[in-house]
Amino acid sequence: MKPQSALIATTLWGAATGAAAALLVLAFRWVIEDGQRLFLPSGELGGYESLPGWAVLVLPLAGGVVLGLVFERLDPQLREVGIVHVLRRIKRPGRSVLPFRNAVVQFFAGAFAILCGQSVDREGPGVHLGATAGNLLGRRIGASGVNVYTLTACGGAASIAAAFNTPLAGVAFVIEVLHVRYRIERFIPIIAASVIGAIISRARYGDNPAFQVMNLDMGSLYEFSLLLGLGVLLGVLALAFVWGADRLAHATRGWRPLPAFACAGAVTGLVGLAYPQVLGVSYDTLSAILDNRLGAALLAGLTVAKLATTAVAVGLRVPGGLIGPSLVIGGAAGALVGVSAPGWVGFATGSESFYGTMGMVAMMGAVLQAPLAALFALLELTADPGIILPGMTVVVTADLVARQMLGRDSVFDYLRRRSEEREG
């Protein structure tokens, strides 16, 4: 087949992968959202705050026990899920293989963990599901090893595009997080997949971005000094998060699933007694942050509480993701700076939502070591080109601070090495 014809064929298969990945992501989201509507007293998405105190404590603990009992019965190879699983598989020599059965475990275990209030997200499982769809399709059509790899990356990009309505960020994600090297014949199919993923997501949820953000204007140019300080703070928080998750993963590498998941649930439940907003994905809390509805004391507590519960859940290998929690942690920290700054600086400042938006993308970029994906997400989530200059200031500063201690590795690279230690 001529190179031009081969590229067209791969692009068409990439578009098909994007559709499959988006449908899986939407199905996964539907299970979680309808489940929450059915059993939460408020009937609202993420409304764990409406649960009585005993339920806030018992739900994640009982969920961790049930999930642990199920994982105890699984073959150890089937317990490997999430972005760490994808990274490990695509980095192996020869043709990468993402088993279908692992994706099935990820779908149901990830949804169950989130419904039970574990402090994890749906985006990490979505990347696993999307990448597996591309991998299975590539192997089914008898594609070469290179093209199977490309279609796997297509699925990862489309899943991020469908989750957040951010097709550009989806493409940047596979470059920076999945470490897919740029080649034009590879990235044309990846772009096609990301576009299709976003289109399908918009057909279901509309053209609006994942988060509605208002009032993103800066108060004065003097604020750049404040933005630099926010970047330093977020870099330190990212360092604390990655270090905590990594050290816990190392310390508990010999633990079986039952005690690990039960411990994660107990920590989440205990912290949830003071801050029930940490349970589940917490996107309802992030929306409240961006709407300027939370005070300084609650923002400070949420920053620490969400960081701690998510680091514990990730370190103990609960089958969920960490991209969403990183947005919540950064959003709370940024909004805390925004709500506190007017009282101790002598110049006009932007709104709480402005700083919350800066914080959420910078924290994500520092934790994932993906500044380009963070900036694309910022542009696509706000649809405001004027936000890029302050965004670059915070994102780059946070990335530089975190990189001084973490190097070029993302949290997933650290966790991948811990996973390899357990097998070794």
Residue 88 to residue 106: CA distance in whole angstroms: 15
Helix H, strand E, coil C: the string for 129-187 is: HHHHHHHHHHHHCCCCHHHHHHHHHHHHHHHHHHHHCCHHHHHHHHHHCCCCCCCHHHH
Give me the mean pLDDT over the 265-285 stretch. Answer: 94
Does the pLDDT value for residue 343 go beyond 60?
yes
Average pLDDT value for the chain:
91
Q: What is the CATH number of domain 223-423?
A: 1.10.3080.10
| CB atoms near residue 408 (< 10 Å) | 9
Residue 347 predicted with pLDDT over 70: yes
Contact by Cβ (8 Å): 212, 357: no
Q: Pick from 312, 317, 414: which is nearest to 368 by CA? A: 414
Residue 348 has pLDDT above 90, yes or no: no
Are 193 and 14 in contact by the 8 Å Cβ rule? The answer is yes
The residue with tokens 């200031």 is 393
- What's the mean pLDDT in 24-30? 96
pLDDT at residue 2 tops 60: no
pLDDT digits (tens, 9 = 90+) for 400-415: 999 888 777 889 988 9
Note the pLDDT of residue 424.
Answer: 59
Helix (H) or strand (E) holding 290: helix 283-290
Q: What is the mean pLDDT of residues 208-213?
A: 68
Query: Among all chains, which residue has been given the structure tokens 């650290």?
Result: 414
Beta bridge partners of residue 337, listed in sequence order: none
Q: What is the mean pLDDT of residues 15-23?
A: 97
Reduced to 3 states, what is the DSSP secondary structure of residue 35?
A: helix
- Count the Cβ atoms, other than its own, within 10 Å of residue 380: 19
Q: Do domains 3-205 and 223-423 have the same CATH topology?
A: yes
pLDDT tens by residue, 174-196: 999 999 988 888 899 999 999 99
Q: How far is CA 8 from CA 118, 160, 287, in A?
A: 43, 23, 41
> Which SS3 state, helix, strand or coil, does residue 321 take?
strand
Q: How many CB atoms lie within 10 A of CB 210?
A: 18
Q: Where are the domains of the chain?
A: 3-205, 223-423
Residues in the chain: 424
Can you tell me whether residue 404 is helix, strand or coil? helix
pLDDT band at 334 (very low <50, low <70, confident <90, very high): very high
Which structure tokens are listed for 81? 């899920």
Asked if residue 148 lies in contact with residue 135, where contact means CB atoms within 8 angstroms, the answer is yes
Of 35, 65, 37, which is closest to residue 269 (Cα–Cα)?
A: 65
Strands, E assignment, 200-339: none
- The CA-based diameter of the chain, rounded to the nearest angstrom, is 67
Q: Are 352 and 339 in contact (CB under 8 A)?
A: yes
Q: How far apart are CA 34 and CA 16, in angstroms?
A: 27
The burial of 168, by beta-carbon neighbours within 10 Å (0-12 exposed, 13-18 middle, 19 or more buried), is given as buried
User: What are the tens digits of pLDDT across the range 72-98?
Assistant: 999 999 999 999 999 998 887 766 889
Confidence (pTM): 0.94
pLDDT value at residue 3: 62
Cα dist from 109 to 308, 319, 323, 404, whole Å: 22, 6, 17, 35
User: Which listed CATH number (3.40.50.720, 1.10.3080.10, 3.55.50.30, 3.50.50.60) goes with 3-205?
Assistant: 1.10.3080.10
CB 299 within 8 A of CB 289: yes
**What is the per-residue pLDDT for 181?**
87
Give the residue, 327 or 222, on which the prediction is more confident. 327
Residue whose C-alpha is closest to residue 278's, from 319, 328, 322: 328
183: alpha, beta or left? (left if phi > 0; alpha if psi -120 to 50):
beta
